[in-house]
């Protein structure tokens, strides 16, 4: 398992060793000791899964303290563009974004620390996406920033007429009308 640093502080890509033969493949999708120096006290307490159609854009979401979540995310089937924004005030990469293709072919994962807004868009016809998290979901701690904020200037790789966006995500605040809950 290779851990690849990204330009955003503490956000890493996990590239698993995949062992293929004529039966299929085997891989370790998570190994605490390999990720520990990046993830600290990350202990998975829940795994969530979403199924999305092409153009489905989910995000940019976070859980505010004290229910902040670190996530280990991957695309099990299909292909997504995964996007993370550092929303930790005082971080050297505050309000910077990073995106990566996660797919069933490359089997890459992202470790998303607490203090990042996260989202993805489905690039394939459908996608099955997994989120391993270290804290339970708390509706009162749910937050987000708008996916199309001009300050973030995120390239979502599809034309806007292909986007499928929930009503809730469509009205998330713009960065200039929002305050990060992460110090």
Does the residue 39 lie in any domain? yes
* pLDDT confidence tier of residue 170, bands split at 50, 70 and 90: very high
CA distances from 172 to 59, 143, 156, 165, 169 (A): 9, 8, 17, 11, 5
Domains of the chain: total? 1
131 in catalytic set: yes
Does the residue 171 lie in any domain? yes
118 in catalytic set: no
Question: Would the pLDDT of 40 be above 80?
Answer: no
Dihedral over Cα of 91, 93, 97, 103: its sign:
negative
The domain spanning residue 103 has which CATH number? 2.60.120.10
Does the residue 183 lie in any domain? no
d(CA 166, CA 125): 18
* pLDDT confidence tier of residue 142, bands split at 50, 70 and 90: very high
Does the residue 82 lie in any domain? yes
Does the residue 9 lie in any domain? yes
Among the listed residues 30, 38, 94, 131, the single catalytic one is 131
For residue 37, the model assigns a pLDDT of 78
Its domain, for residue 11, covers: 2-177
pTM of the complete model beyond 0.85: yes
Of 3-7, 18-22, 36-40, 97-101, give the lowest mean pLDDT range: 36-40
Among the listed residues 61, 62, 108, 118, the single catalytic one is 61
Question: Other CB atoms closer than 10 Å to residue 103's CB: what's the count?
Answer: 20
Does the residue 63 lie in any domain? yes
Does the residue 182 lie in any domain? no
The mean predicted confidence, pLDDT, of the chain is 95
Does the residue 84 lie in any domain? yes
CA distances from 141 to 73, 93, 95, 164, 174 (A): 20, 23, 20, 24, 18
């Amino acid at each position: 398992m290779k851990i690849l640093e990204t330009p955003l502080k503490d956000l890493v890509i996990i590239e698993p060793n995949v062992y293929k033969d004529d039966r299929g493949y085997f891989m370790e999708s998570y190994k605490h000791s390999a990720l520990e120096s990046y993830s600290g006290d990350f202990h998975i307490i829940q795994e969530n899964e979403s199924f999305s159609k092409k153009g489905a854009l989910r995000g940019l979401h976070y859980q505010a303290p004290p229910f902040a979540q670190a996530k280990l995310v991957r695309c099990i089937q299909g292909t997504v563009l995964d996007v993370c924004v550092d929303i930790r005030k005082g971080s050297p990469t505050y309000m910077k974004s990073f995106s990566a293709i996660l797919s069933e072919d490359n089997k890459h994962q992202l470790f998303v620390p607490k203090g990042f807004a996260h989202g993805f868009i489905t690039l394939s016809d459908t996608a099955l996406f997994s989120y391993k998290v270290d804290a339970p979901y708390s509706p009162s701690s749910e937050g987000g920033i708008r996916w199309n904020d001009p300050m973030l200037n995120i390239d979502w790789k599809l034309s806007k007429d292909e986007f499928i966006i929930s009503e809730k995500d469509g009205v998330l605040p713009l960065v200039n009308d929002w305050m990060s809950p992460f110090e």
